[in-house]
Structure 1
Amino acid sequence: MTSVENLAGEEWRGRVGGSWAAEWVRTDRSFAELTGHLVEAVSSTLPPLALTTRRSVLDIGCGAGETALRLASERPDLDVTGLDLSDELVAAARERGAGQSNLSYATGDASNWQGAALFDAALSRHGVMFFDDPVAAFTHLRSLMAPHAPLAFTCFAARADNFWASELAELIGAPLPVDPYAPGPFAFAEADRVHAILDASGWQNATSERIDYRYVAGGGDDPVGDALDFFMRIGPAARHIATLDVAARQALEPRLKTWLQGHIEGGEVRFPASAWLWRATA
């Protein structure tokens, strides 16, 4: 059996992007502890100037817009552009950001999209692991940046340190990817590989910082049911479960509930998770 985890650009333009657009509340919740680290990483490199002096920031693979909206809200002196492959995700982001005058969104492939002018900084929350040719993509992204512009992005660290993925895959019998470096959530898990990609594409002063956080999968009145529904709709587990027949899915559900029950903390289903926070300059 081959892996169903790896994602291609066409999938983000279609079914996958639509699913994430519909689930932005829960996906944002799952990354809540990580988002602040990323926004601060790029904001701290751009000291506030007079409001008459405008600087621009590109959010790569912005999804439903949380990171772009948060940065634009916290930093009215910055003009933030969110870019994503998915029309559905960009539509959700625009709706959320309506009324934020220093925020805009565009639909496009970051590996070849052209901005109107050079950007003064860039960030990405888990949006850069899906390039078919990472070196070419990061080379192009560098061409969109002003000289010495800072870049900050996050990506998942090792699968084994992200229990929501490693334990779940084992429980449902999902196979590991045939190619661990193919576009997908853990394609950038190895720090040495990412450093080599950034170096080969011309980015300078690349550094990585490991961020351990809590991945929140379920909450509300029924956190187990909420988490179960979330995992059935989003991510590699959903893709694998969709390949099972009805009987297999029904047999799996009570096992998943028992597993989720064991991860309740503070009224939520939470998992240990780990990401890399990368910084570099153009």
Structure 2
Amino acid sequence: MLHSDPVFAQLAAADFPPFLPGSVWLVGAGPGGPGLLTLLACHALGRADVIVHDALVSPDILSLAPPQVERIHAGKRGGKPSPKQADITIRLIELARQGKRVLRLKGGDPFMFGRGGEEAGELARARIPFRIVPGISSGLGGLAYAGLPITHRDTNQAVLFLTGHDETGAVPGAVDWPSVARAAPVIVMFMAVKHLPSIAGKLLAAGRQPGDALTIVSHIAGPTQSVLETTLGNAADLRDVPTPAIVVLGPVAQYRDQLDWYVDEVRRHVFG
């Protein structure tokens, strides 16, 4: 564990920036297991007085912090009772004003559809010192666990990132779908499973082909990771897709036959 492992004891003596009382660190926890945390995230876990964490932060990561650290669940999951974003930010400010070292721990990266920019903006307006610690996003490095290089010289020189819902939970109304459909061969969609039939319909109407490869990676980088491969034209027929998930549209799916290394590792771990 972080608080007793000799490796992390050495990290504690490293020249990391001090986690000062009365400040908030917005830290990315990466896509899954503790091995994908950054060293600075580990440092923050060992120094925090209180951790305000999202639903997607695994218990294995939370267990790395010393046992006396207060843990506050502030996760938002679709279709379930969730704290309001404004209330989360107010809580961060209140805790910092109490002189605590506040670790705001987010799945993936705080600035990749994680509302980290909104929270940091409110902290700045409240004159609360803060630091941003980037994390590995599921939609970037995390997809390597499914054998999906989101860029490849033979298929695409551009990639587009898209969120599947707006702040109301509906399909984003401000998206220029014809432009999105043409912008890049590969589109990576966050939080898109719920509205995938609607999104697929908009992309098809805007000119994407029904046969375009569609890959859905659920529970990325965890022992229950699963990958569903289909086409854009069949998206409306999908049922009971596990979430959280990242949806990838585009030709990079063809590389999974060679690059899908993680499924074999999970089998060796589970079945010996």
TM-score calculated relative to the size of structure 1: 0.34
Higher RCO (CA 8 Å, separation ≥ 6 residues)? 1
TM-score (norm 2): 0.35
Q: Which has the higher helix share?
A: 1
Give 1 or 2 for the bigger CA radius of gyration: 2
